[in-house]
Amino acid sequence: MQTELSTTLGVEHAVFGFTPFPAVAAAITRAGGFGVLGAVRYTAPDELARDLEWMTAHTDGLPYGLDVVMPARKVEGVTEAEVEAMIPDGHRDYVARILAEHDVPPLPEGETSGWRITGWMEEVARSQLDVAFDHPIKLLANALGSPPPDVIARAHDRGIRVAALAGSPRHARHHRDAGIDIVVAQGYEAGGHTGEIATMVLTPEVVAAVDPLPVLAAGGIGTGEQIAAGLALGAQGVWLGSLWLTTEEAELHSRRLTAKLLAAGPGDTVRSRALTGKPARQLRTAWTDAWDAADGPGPLPMPLQGLLVAEATSRIQRHGIDPLLGTPVGQIVGRMNSERSVQAVCDDLTRGFEKAVDRINRIAGRA
Amino acid sequence: MQTELSTTLGVEHAVFGFTPFPAVAAAITRAGGFGVLGAVRYTAPDELARDLEWMTAHTDGLPYGLDVVMPARKVEGVTEAEVEAMIPDGHRDYVARILAEHDVPPLPEGETSGWRITGWMEEVARSQLDVAFDHPIKLLANALGSPPPDVIARAHDRGIRVAALAGSPRHARHHRDAGIDIVVAQGYEAGGHTGEIATMVLTPEVVAAVDPLPVLAAGGIGTGEQIAAGLALGAQGVWLGSLWLTTEEAELHSRRLTAKLLAAGPGDTVRSRALTGKPARQLRTAWTDAWDAADGPGPLPMPLQGLLVAEATSRIQRHGIDPLLGTPVGQIVGRMNSERSVQAVCDDLTRGFEKAVDRINRIAGRA
């Protein structure tokens, strides 16, 4: 599975795997793909430094990348307390009511919510970048908009390629104009923040919009057949996130969540603003239902919603409260039905890709 | 572009084209595809008979099909007047208000609304079938649910294959159990009635659900690259509807509508209940905005919404009221940027398919 981009980057397969878990990212790289570690869960730069060192030690000199979140709209110059004060009491009451309805206990003494708004602030992303640039990352991806020009310049000075996610041709052109090297076209069916345009339509639209920049197809890709489809649409590679959540190397916070993912069908996700305030695809749960309910107060805009629900989310996860327990995941969750090693998953991807190529050649009368 | 299904049906390309226009359907068949005429706009059986005779005379003995609408929930045993009486006055007022805001004139004296609720009733669909079974159709497709067992039996007695649209693996299994021969997996990005699951995910899910029944991929397919993607996903053919709307043979009711379609981008459609009461993808217009507005009364359930808006839709179309003018169409509308003949469109599809196969072979190291 070799494209111009994968050859340039020195990877065997044009498969980019995004994951918050270093063990998964490293295993993707070792399996011949390109592992990309998500940085949003790191609040302390030394934790990120420790994990990047581990990544470097466990990837045999093969390339890996880092995904940061630099919001297009800055929330600098305000303290977390000031942002907290913007949250209406009615919304706090609503959170308390949902938690009470499901008998969700508080966090144990001494534990705090893992997710803080600070992870979404540019200054935190910048401190992560200071760490990242000290490590041999080969790709810097940004999940929200184009990174600032000086960040792109710092990356390029170090020979690091910069990627950004786009949900529309317009976003993609904006990235190109900002100097981005690779556009990840993230379709409607993807896990996490998505737009309305599905991968089948978005991929060729973005390829045409930013030509000759390389495009990765993201959303709805979890098998070798889907990789073949994404590449047939003109992508120079594919970007997979959800698929790794049920690998043996993934460290989900709860076995119950793994069980829910393994059992979910393709219709069991919803694109909801419940988690961050922006539409993000995730498991449909009693939690998302409560925020999408017509008689509820509805989600607050980013970043307020994320701040509002951070502690509640930690409590739900900590205690494994089944009806409320969710995670960002794409529609391919319907085919994530067994726990396997990253290597086994990657072997399946390449086998499925070869079978799809055989099939398309038979159909084209070339077999 | 030959699959087991296309070979069995005796067509050169595994491309199924759905259209309400006989000239388009016949041209698709003559170009080596499988033209399928939509019957929902026919209220008088003799008009359908006339057009099927024309189709037979203009398809050189090659196969074509018919698409009917037999709703899963029957609206038999009630008159149109009784259904009319179920519509709340507030909704009628809202229609009048939208029309007044946009200065929409009444229909000219003697003209009536073309679309009637009767087109959606089983008894009308059955009278269409009586006509259809007198003509050499090779495929009978149903847009809403599985047709009743006696209809499937009548079709099979005549060697006619029966297809049904599915938006989820569950729908697809229901069709298989009902004795359907071909399942059309219609993804979120498609024009008209769609579910939530995108084609990239839905196609392999449906293929797995009904194996070994043949599946057609529908939604998001308007280029040869997208055909290659749909076939890579395991489909035995593709089902295209939107693409034909801007062909030279299409007889849209208004040049302004053609102009809107040619100018629209991939983000200019919306999945709305404004037209029929069930979610259907269509051009986003001031009309869909009015029905999707939080401060409006919202759409009524099928079939009430269709009945409520029928005359208004005719008036909007008759007078070409630009901001309100829409049509069911999929997200591929963004690439429908020129008016061409059906033959030219089909030539592009096959050329694009061959190029995509070349590309995928290079990526797989087989070129």
Task: Report helix, strand or coil for B142.
Answer: strand
Task: Report the residue of chain A nearest B4, measured CA to CA.
Answer: A363
| Neighbouring-strand partners of residue A18 | A36
Confidence band, pLDDT 50/70/90 cuts, at residue B120: low
β strands within B187-260, DSSP E = 192-193, 215-218, 237-240
Q: What is the largest CA-CA distance in chain A?
A: 67
Q: What is the largest CA-CA distance in chain B?
A: 67
Identify from A173, A188, A200 which residue to disrupt to test chain B contact, counting B C-beta atoms within 10 A and taking the largest count.
A200
Looking at residue A337, its pLDDT comes to 97
Confidence band, pLDDT 50/70/90 cuts, at residue B347: very high
* Buried b / exposed e along B168-202 (16+ C-beta atoms within 10 A): bbbbbbbbbeeebbbbbbbbbbbbbbbbbbbbbbb
Q: Is the peptide bond preceding residue B323 cis, with omega within 30 degrees of 0?
A: no
**CA–CA dist B238, B23 (Å, integer):** 20
Looking at residue B72, its pLDDT comes to 52
B188, B189, B232 member nearest A356 (Cβ): B232
Task: Report helix, strand or coil for B244.
Answer: helix
| Neighbouring-strand partners of residue B328 | B282
How many angstroms away from the CA of B149 is the closest CA of chain A? 28
Which residues of chain A, if any, have pLDDT below 70?
71-77, 114-121
CB A202 within 8 A of CB A287: no
Residue B73 has pLDDT above 80, yes or no: no
**CA–CA dist B238, A291 (Å, integer):** 38
Residue A260, H or E segment: helix A255-263
CB contact under 8 Å between A200 and B223, yes or no, is: no
Chain A residues in contact with B14 (beta carbon < 8 A): 363
**CA–CA dist A265, A263 (Å, integer):** 7
With a threshold of 0.85, tell me whether the complex ipTM lies above it: yes
Residue B52 has pLDDT above 90, yes or no: yes
How many angstroms away from the CA of B356 is the closest CA of chain A? 5
Task: Report the residue of chain A nearest B206, measured CA to CA.
Answer: A266
Q: How many CB pairs under 8 A join A and B?
A: 161
> B342-363 and A224-232 helices cross at what angle (nearest 10)?
120
Residue B129, H or E segment: helix B122-132
Residue B367 has pLDDT above 90, yes or no: no
What is the mean pLDDT of the segment spanning B250-266? 95
In one letter, which amino acid is B113? S
Looking at residue B44, its pLDDT comes to 84
Residue B64 corresponds to which tokens in the numbers above? 């074509």
How many Cα neighbours within 13 Å face the side chain of B296? 21
Chain B residues in contact with A365 (beta carbon < 8 A): 2
B14, B189, B363 member nearest A198 (Cβ): B189
How many angstroms away from the CA of B218 is the closest CA of chain A? 11
CB A11 within 8 A of CB A62: yes
CB contact under 8 Å between A360 and B188, yes or no, is: no
Task: Round the average pLDDT of chain B to a whole number and report it.
Answer: 93
Alpha helix positions (H), A102-148:
122-132
B189, B234, B265 member nearest A200 (Cβ): B189
Chain A residues in contact with B188 (beta carbon < 8 A): 188-189, 198
Per residue in B193-225, pLDDT (tens digit) is 999 999 999 999 999 999 999 999 999 999 999
Residue B88 has pLDDT above 60, yes or no: yes
CB contact under 8 Å between B204 and A226, yes or no, is: yes
Task: Report the residue of chain B nearest A364, measured CA to CA.
Answer: B1
Residue B286 has pLDDT above 90, yes or no: yes
How many Cα neighbours within 13 Å face the side chain of A207? 20
B189, B232, B365 member nearest A232 (Cβ): B232
Looking at residue A111, its pLDDT comes to 83
Residue B209 corresponds to which tokens in the numbers above? 């659900």
B1, B196, B360 member nearest A232 (Cβ): B360
Residues 6+ apart with CB under 8 A from B66: B36, B37, B39, B52, B128, B132, B137, B139, B140, B141
How many angstroms away from the CA of B213 is the closest CA of chain A? 17
CB contact under 8 Å between B169 and A265, yes or no, is: yes
* Buried b / exposed e along A189-213 (16+ C-beta atoms within 10 A): bbbbbbbbbbbbbbbbbbbebbeeb
CB A286 within 8 A of CB A312: no
A200, A202, A225 member nearest B204 (Cβ): A225
A42/B60: higher pLDDT = B60
Chain B residues in contact with A297 (beta carbon < 8 A): none
Task: Report helix, strand or coil for B213.
Answer: coil
Residue A182, H or E segment: strand A182-186
| Neighbouring-strand partners of residue A140 | A66, A162
Residues 6+ apart with CB under 8 A from B259: none
B14, B169, B198 member nearest A188 (Cβ): B198
Identify from A216, A363, A366 which residue to disrupt to test chain B contact, counting B C-beta atoms within 10 A and taking the largest count.
A363
Residue B80 has pLDDT above 90, yes or no: no
Looking at residue A363, its pLDDT comes to 98
Dihedral (CA of B246, B248, B253, B258) sign: positive
CB contact under 8 Å between B169 and A334, yes or no, is: yes
What is the mean pLDDT of the segment spanning B335-357? 98
**A2 backbone dihedrals φ, ψ, rounded to 5°:** -120, 125
Residue B116 has pLDDT above 60, yes or no: no
Provide the pairing of β-strand B269-272 with B237-240.
unpaired
Residue B120 corresponds to which tokens in the numbers above? 């959606």
The share of chain B scoring above pLDDT 90, in percent, equals 83
CB contact under 8 Å between A228 and B232, yes or no, is: yes
Question: Domains of chain A by range and CATH?
Answer: 1-76+121-244 (3.20.20.70)
Residue B313, H or E segment: helix B304-319
Looking at residue B117, its pLDDT comes to 54
